[in-house]
Chain A
Amino acid sequence: MDIARKLELLADAAKYDVACTSSGVDRSGKKGQLGAATQAGCCHSFTPDGRCVTLMKVLMTNVCTCDCAYCVNRASNLEIERTAFTPRELADLTIGFYRRNFIEGLFLSSGVAGSPDNTTERMISALEILRHEYGFRGYIHAKAIPGTSPELLHQLGLLCDRLSVNMELPSAESLALLAPDKTKRNILAPMRQICDSCAEDAESRSLARRTSGSLAQCRPKTASRAFAPAGQSTQMIIGATPESDHHILNLSAALYRTLSMKRVFFSAYVPVTADPRLPQTDRVQLNREHRLYQADWLMRFYQFDVDEIIDEEDPFLDLEVDPKAAWALRHLDLFPVEVNTASYEVLLRVPGIGVRGAKLILRARRHSTLGEEQLRKLGIAWKRARYFVTCKGAYAVPGVDFSAAWLRAQLTSPIDGGRHGRRSAKEAPGQMSLFDGLDAQQGHMQPAAPASGPKTMAGHKSTPFAALKPPVEALF
């Protein structure tokens, strides 16, 4: 088969994998070797659906012995053409693309052909050609296949920058229902191994780099490759099974906390097959995915705890307002805040002020007192922030009824007469009907629609002992 045709097939088979980042590792160039990597990563192209293309995301092969209901490559799918790259073809193609600045590196995943160990060995040989023969210093993201032996996984980790194991679905029951070949154990075991190996590697390196003490002489003369220096990530499919946002966010918080994940990706379920176990709809829950990512950002960059974002009584995120605004509407007793005196942590909690805006405010207010005009100049989202801040002691919006209902109406009113962000607005509420097919079959509880009215101003319930939070094993 023509190599371009192979690439087309294997890229098409890999496109439902959402994780496509090239960040997390800073590797300078080296004379005589191709490639470098930067901490922030770099997006090289954008597909018509607006997603970025930063790595050459392909499968080693789309032959697969697993029969996961949601997957286009499942063994029972007879409609697709099966093919495989040889390690040499893959390495040559990666180098060719990299030299033309098409990509930042390689994202290598694979269907399970034969046994997981066989598959991983093929992936390793492709990466060895890249790293050792071509001396490639670009970014490599590899998927660990569940069921691979720990030795091979370790070898794979030493060749790539980021490793990831797909969580696939947010609970073990769903996994048993839709992906019978995968088990909770063979997904969590490699995650744990990667987490431990990364920590071990980082610690031994920091010991070897110490300049004082008796170990200074033991410093290695040649640099050895680190184990997955950009850490690990994972992804799960949202909306194929009836788990609530509360469950999903608690699970991802536990992943960040106990397995030191760099990222947890959510992928709205895209129907690629008519299986009776799957929701029978062609709608994609893009809005829900978006809200989940917003909540994820709040946990990672805005110092929010998962219990502040969502609680058990109301287990789905509000689709009308974003999670941060929803939090603010529940805690109106803390607002408005004075921008000229509020601390960084408090500024971060104001809807409309982000990490960049909060830092700019801290810098700018050392020179002058900030009023509305200056805040607009700093580029914060004044349209949203104005309801929650005071400038020089005065509230910026005259004639405000400072109640949750009124503020919610302001925040949800269409921006720019509805011309702004119209495509995403099409996926309006009513998405929850997605679960109907499944509920009839399984007798699940119909999840409650998100409350659209204002909630009472109860202070947030924080767990008294944060350390006693459940580990991933208990949630998944």
Chain B
Amino acid sequence: MEELYDSIAYLYDGTLEGLFTAVFCAFERHEEPADVCRADVYQPRLSQLAVTIETSLPKADRVRKGIIRAAGRRGYRRVRRAALSDSPDAGTAVYRFIAFAMAENAKRPCHSCPRRGTCRSAFAPPKQTSCPRVVGRLIDDVASPAVKPVHKLSVAVNRECEHMRQFIRFRELEGGLFYARCNPKANVVPLIMDHFAERFNVQPFIIFDENHHIAGISEGGDWQLVDTRNWPGHELRLPPEAAGEKEMADAWRRFYRALSVDCRYNPELRRHFMPKRLWKNITEVQGEA
């Protein structure tokens, strides 16, 4: 088999657990996949073998623990954010970062370390395979080719989170439910639900991501995610709008128009802060796009 193919690609189902299982398999089988990619966006290279990885939660959990041990909690958080990105390179970037983190730690084995007499890590059970001098600073090495892609992706996902915190617009439906649609570039609904559940704990609300078909549902400060990919029409069935909702949106639109100072007109600046791709779900600019 090996003679026929130059490289291997691992395909996972798009979830964080799927990605971690793929990383686990790469270590388990002693293979070095050239690509780790979501199955739905994979584009085969010439003479590349594509292997589909079955998601396994126990394996994913071992990888999660491994990342925390090798790159610290900050490193793990960065990896998790990067993995939520829509970019087709996200899987490969995460895999390379994890491999880099493991290799960096392996370079500093405890048995030959001059600090082993005083280092807590050398004696702590179970036997550690990480060096505290590597773990804390690994993710800071942003100029390194293995860390930079993960750093960049996580910054982009962070930015998309901020866009959603800014531009989510709720509508009130009959029965007091608030509903918002959004179209982010990354799967950020899980990351923003805490923010909204905290401030809107007095109202039940749904945030529906129409790109990733995921709905975040919150009531009374708690929230959960619902995957609507396999639902008929990928959509939620919702009650009609509450009375007075139209007037409220109209008042907001008129307020927004009144605020502009004409002699400072600068649409480039507005587009910079409020990208046009998001306008279709922003109440005050919906018609303008």
A residues near B (Cβ < 8 Å) are: 3-5, 7-9, 11-12, 15-16, 28-36, 42-53, 56-57, 93, 96-97, 99-102, 137-138, 270, 282, 284, 286, 360, 363-364, 366-368, 370, 374, 377-378, 423-424
In the complex with contacts A29-B199, A52-B273, A377-B148 CB distance below 8 A: yes
A48–B170 Cα distance when bound, in Å, is 22
Return the CB mask of B171-215 against A: 1 if under 8 Å, else 0.
110000010100000000000000010111111000000000000
Question: Once the chains bind, are A45 and B263 in contact (CB under 8 Å)?
Answer: no
19 of the cross-chain contacts (CB-CB < 8 Å) are A32-B201, A33-B202, A34-B200, A43-B273, A46-B269, A46-B270, A47-B256, A50-B273, A52-B273, A57-B259, A97-B248, A99-B203, A100-B178, A101-B170, A101-B180, A137-B199, A270-B261, A284-B263, A366-B137
A12–B196 Cα distance when bound, in Å, is 30
CB distance from A70 to the nearest CB of B (A): 14
CB distance from A62 to the nearest CB of B (A): 12
The listed residue with most B CB atoms (<10 A of its CB), out of A16, A93, A367, is A367
Which residue of chain A has the shortest Cβ distance to B284 in the bound complex?
A: A45
Q: Is B250 an interface residue (CB 8 A)?
A: yes
Question: Once the chains bind, are B166 and A364 in contact (CB under 8 Å)?
Answer: no
Question: Once the chains bind, are B199 and A35 in contact (CB under 8 Å)?
Answer: yes
Question: Once the chains bind, are A364 and B141 in contact (CB under 8 Å)?
Answer: yes
In the complex with contacts A4-B250, A48-B270, A11-B259 CB distance below 8 A: yes
Question: Once the chains bind, are A31 and B259 in contact (CB under 8 Å)?
Answer: no
In the complex with contacts A99-B203, A360-B142, A366-B137, A49-B270 CB distance below 8 A: yes
Question: Once the chains bind, are A47 and B270 in contact (CB under 8 Å)?
Answer: yes
Give 5 nearest A-B pairs by CB, closest first. Answer: A50-B269, A29-B198, A49-B264, A374-B143, A367-B141
Overall SS of chain B's interface: helix
With an 8 Å Cβ cutoff, the count of chain B residues facing the other chain is 55
Q: Is B42 an interface residue (CB 8 A)?
A: no
Question: Once the chains bind, are B260 and A93 in contact (CB under 8 Å)?
Answer: no
The listed residue with most A CB atoms (<10 A of its CB), out of B141, B162, B269, is B269
Question: Once the chains bind, are A50 and B270 in contact (CB under 8 Å)?
Answer: yes
A30–B201 Cα distance when bound, in Å, is 8
Q: Is B5 an interface residue (CB 8 A)?
A: no
Question: Once the chains bind, are B259 and A367 in contact (CB under 8 Å)?
Answer: no
The listed residue with most A CB atoms (<10 A of its CB), out of B258, B274, B282, is B258
Contact of A423 among B255, B266, B282 (CB under 8 A): B266
Which chain B residues (229-267) contact chain A, with CB distance < 8 Å? 247-248, 250-252, 254-267
CB distance from A354 to the nearest CB of B (A): 15
Which residue of chain B has the shortest Cβ distance to A96 in the bound complex?
A: B248
The listed residue with most A CB atoms (<10 A of its CB), out of B140, B180, B251, B272, is B251
Q: Is B268 an interface residue (CB 8 A)?
A: yes
CB distance from B251 to the nearest CB of A (A): 4
Question: Once the chains bind, are B143 and A378 in contact (CB under 8 Å)?
Answer: yes
Which residue of chain B has the shortest Cβ distance to A138 in the bound complex?
A: B199
Q: Is B283 an interface residue (CB 8 A)?
A: yes
Q: Is B165 an interface residue (CB 8 A)?
A: yes
Contact of A378 among B142, B250, B260 (CB under 8 A): B142
CB distance from A247 to the nearest CB of B (A): 24
A43–B168 Cα distance when bound, in Å, is 12
New A-B pairs, 6, CB < 8 Å, besides A29-B198, A284-B264, A423-B269: A9-B258, A33-B202, A45-B274, A99-B170, A100-B172, A101-B168
Which residue of chain A has the shortest Cβ distance to B198 in the bound complex?
A: A29
A260–B155 Cα distance when bound, in Å, is 33
Question: Once the chains bind, are A46 and B140 in contact (CB under 8 Å)?
Answer: no
Q: Is B144 an interface residue (CB 8 A)?
A: yes
Contact of B283 among A35, A49, A102 (CB under 8 A): A102
Question: Once the chains bind, are A46 and B273 in contact (CB under 8 Å)?
Answer: yes
In the complex with contacts A4-B247, A364-B140, A367-B141, A15-B170 CB distance below 8 A: no
A49–B274 Cα distance when bound, in Å, is 12
Q: Is B223 an interface residue (CB 8 A)?
A: no
CB distance from B159 to the nearest CB of A (A): 13
In the complex with contacts A8-B255, A102-B252, A367-B143, A49-B265 CB distance below 8 A: yes
Provide the residues of chain B in CB contact with A360, threshold 8 Å: 142
Provide the residues of chain B in CB contact with A102, threshold 8 Å: 169, 252, 283
A374–B250 Cα distance when bound, in Å, is 50
